[in-house]
Chain A
C-alpha cells in the first residue's frame, strides 16, 4: 500500500506478553488510526491520533495503548496480550478530516 507500512505482518505471541505493532507512513499525513477486524464485527476503531503526542481512544480501546512521538510512526501496544485480542489489525492514514483513509496491509496477531 502506497506510503503506509505495517510491521510485523504476522505474529504469534503468548498470553500475558506485551506486543507492539508498528505503523509507518511516508505521506506526512496528520491523522492516523488503528482498527481491529474480526468476523461479525467489521472494522472497529481502537485508537487514533490527530498529530504528534495527540491521541485519543476509540470504541474498543481497553487493553491497548498507543504512542505517536513522530509524525510518521504510530505504535499500538498490547500491554498484556489476551486471547480476545487475536485479530487482524489495520492502520490507516488520513490527509485531513475531509479525506478518506488509506489502509495498510494489516498485521495478523494470534495470542495463544
Chain B
C-alpha cells in the first residue's frame, strides 16, 4: 500500500543551527504534500505545503524541498529555536483527498 516514511525518528540540534527533517513517499501520483508540527498535548498544526509542480517553497524560517525523481521531501528550519521542539509529520495527499501521514520525527533543540 501507499506509505509515507521518515528517515530518522529523532533529531537533536543546537539552538541557532539549521534543522533538516526528511521524508520519503511511495506514491508517484501524489501531487500535494504537507508538513505538520505537533507539540506535546496538542493537535498537529500546518506548517507549510507544496504541490508537485514546484520543487521548493519557502515560509517564515521554513523551507520545503520536493524531489519527485527520488520521491523525497524535506523540511528545513533555519535558526532553530527551543519553540521548534516538537514532532514533525510529513503527509502525502492520495486520490480522493485523503492524507497519508508519516510516523513523525521528534525534533529536540538544545539551548
Contact = CB atoms under 8 A, between A and B. Distances in A.
B102 to A, nearest CB: 7
Nearest to A40: B103
B39 to A, nearest CB: 11
Interface residues on B, range: 20 to 34
Given A1-B43, A42-B89, A90-B43, A100 B104 contact: no
Interface in B24-49: 32, 34, 36, 41-46, 49
Interface string A20-63: 00000000000101000000111101001000000000000000
Interface of B: 32, 34, 36, 41-46, 49, 89, 91, 93, 96-99, 101-104
Given A100-B91, A100-B99, 20 more contacts: A1-B45, A31-B97, A40-B103, A42-B89, A43-B44, A43-B101, A45-B98, A90-B44, A96-B97, A97-B97, A98-B32, A98-B97, A100-B32, A100-B34, A100-B49, A100-B93, A101-B44, A101-B99, A103-B43, A104-B43
